Amino acid sequence: MIRVAQFSIALYSVIAIYYTTRHISTLLASKIFAPRFLSTQITDTIDNSLGGSTLFAGLDYFQSSTDPSYMSWPSESLAKFSDDSGSKYTSVSEHTIISKLLAQAFHPIKLVPYYRKASSTFDTQDVTITTLVTSNRFKVFKQLVQRYQGPVSVTVQIPVTLNRKDIDQDTMKRQDSQTTKILQELDTLYRSSDSFSKFVDIHLAFSPTSPPSKRSRQSDGFGEGARQFNLWRNVARLFARTDFVMMLDVDFAVCTDWRNFIKSGLQALEQEDPFVDDLTMEKRDMETNMHSNRTIFTQHSLDVFRGLKDGNIALVVPAFEYVNQQEGIDQGSFPDTKEQLLSLASGSVPKITSFHASWIPGHNSTDYSRFYSVPPGTEELYKVENYQSAYEPYVVMNKNAPWCDERFVGYGSNKAACLFEMYISGVSFHVLSEHFLIHQSHKYEEEARKEERRHNRKLYTDYKEEVCLRYLHQFHQKRSLATDQARNALEECRKIKSVFKLIPEVFNVKQT
């Protein structure tokens, strides 16, 4: 019976992947364009900004000394002896590597990693904020950088128009000029504060757009583009230079110092590790003491940080927003302690509430009632007990957590899908009870989102089936269905009727 279940899972996984891919492909117009789709005007702007170096000059850590467009790795000993050229390195074109990384992108893009690279050397135990930015959000991005004062890895979307036959040359030139203008504005932004050169790595994602329609309200010369949010998230995480990342939207204010709280917890954990050298510990001691008093962690907290380090736990920073949008515009007036937050969130007419309170499934699993009940200063870390698949909190996680599925394009379910696969893989969520984020109010373009949400809801339904079958198959192959790692998958996937009907015997496994 188990062999039949194993075969069924494998077969159904193939079917699910095929069905899901066919479904999403119908959402997007088929556009094929050459890898070198940027105009000379745009590439000249980039090259000048980079000081005349190549477009792929970003990954200097792996660069070949003879050709900066190639990345090199040390050869194994056997290869060194058998290599007639005498070379100790094996090189692969960066263009080839990036094209492989972007193989699942439905709208191919040109990627320029480390267009701007921060001067700081970051401790691997630090937390990098990974985010994505479009040109209309440069101002709020600057606020995020200045408030955080820590490592940031950002994917900046740069719109470009394909050289289509139905666009006249004058229109193409105007749109190329607009793209060039965005690049210049980005450079101006980077030079506007020392915090950028100290903390921020910028990666460019040139994304194709269609020309604006006659009914379009776009004033920048561009029509709708491919909002490849999950792809952009993955790019920012891929090039982050620390072991831990915070997947955050750019329009949130970092109100409390959860970064140094987490660093302190990881440091306390390492004090129990005999393999951490004294010099490393001394350096981290100095960095921690510069920012905060030493925190005494309970054994439960240390176990949570151990789970974060091992990739089994992600930490939720609860999100809030102002009830009156006008009051949520000025970040300078936002609370920066839990006491202040509680005073604004309480009373007969609260000024602050949980983020997207009208969409309960999105954040309610954070259990805001429990958050409110934990006294300020306690620093309790409590587990999310009532997960559901629409949950999309902002989390600090191990960089090597499962990647976001890049087939999700546009608004709706994209971040929930990232977190769903993390959860099914065995990652549990724990909430930081002393810390919080606040959303900076802005208007939403609801009309543009409706169609994307409708399609992504259907995609997400199919995707959840695919993920459940894939991980249940993996757990079965590893004989780990009865372990804690498979618990999330067994509990959540049994809710999906099609999965439960196909392999009911899998859900009868007794947990240890």
List the chain domain ranges.
Answer: 1-28+446-512, 36-58+108-249, 254-442
Tokens, residue 247:
């997947």
pLDDT-wise least confident of 52-61, 167-176, 190-199, 481-490: 52-61
Average pLDDT over the chain, rounded to whole?
A: 79
| Rounded Cα distance, 131 and 413, in Å | 17
Q: Where are the alpha helices (DSSP H) in 333-445?
A: 338-345, 360-363, 368-373, 414-424
pLDDT interval class at 55 (50, 70, 90): very low
Residues counted in the chain: 512
What is the β-pairing status of strands 152-161 and 127-133? parallel
**Rounded percentage of the chain residues whose pLDDT exceeds 90:** 49
Tokens, residue 39:
């105009």
For residue 33, pLDDT over 50 is answered with no
- Helices H, strands E: what count in the chain? 18, 15
Query: Cβ atoms within 10 A of the Cβ of 188, count?
Result: 10
What is the β-pairing status of strands 437-439 and 252-254? antiparallel
pLDDT-wise least confident of 8-22, 95-109, 394-408, 459-473: 8-22
Give the three-class secondary structure for 258: helix
**Nearest C-alpha neighbor of 509 from the set 14, 470, 11, 485:** 485
| Rounded Cα distance, 309 and 242, in Å | 12
Q: Is the pLDDT higher at 138 or at 104?
A: 138
When computed from its CA atoms, the radius of gyration of the chain, rounded to whole angstroms, is 24
Summarised one tens digit per residue, pLDDT across range 339-376 is 999 999 998 899 999 987 776 777 889 999 999 999 99
Q: Which residues are within 8 A (CB) of 3 and not within 5 positions of it... i.e. 6 or more apart? A: none
pLDDT-wise least confident of 250-264, 381-395, 403-417: 403-417
Q: Which residues of 389-410 are buried (b: 16+ CB within 10 A; e: fewer)?
A: bbbbbbbbbbbebbbbbbbbbb
pLDDT-wise least confident of 46-55, 133-142, 419-428: 46-55
| Rounded Cα distance, 172 and 184, in Å | 18
pLDDT interval class at 174 (50, 70, 90): confident
131 bridge partner residues: 154
Contact 62, 197 (CB under 8 A): no
**Nearest C-alpha neighbor of 269 from the set 302, 237, 226, 318:** 302
Distances (CA, A) of 73 to 102, 219, 469: 21, 47, 36
Contact 220, 230 (CB under 8 A): no
| Rounded Cα distance, 323 and 213, in Å | 35
Note the pLDDT of residue 206. Answer: 87
pLDDT interval class at 284 (50, 70, 90): low
Contact 309, 266 (CB under 8 A): yes
Matching residue, tokens 């000379």: 40
Q: Which residues are within 8 A (CB) of 286 and not within 5 positions of it... i.e. 6 or more apart? A: none
Contact 361, 380 (CB under 8 A): no
Note the pLDDT of residue 72. Answer: 61
pTM: 0.81
Is the CA virtual torsion 33, 179, 253, 319 positive or negative?
Answer: negative
Give the three-class secondary structure for 253: strand
Is the CA virtual torsion 475, 478, 479, 485 positive or negative?
Answer: negative
210: which DSSP letter?
P
91 bridge partner residues: 72
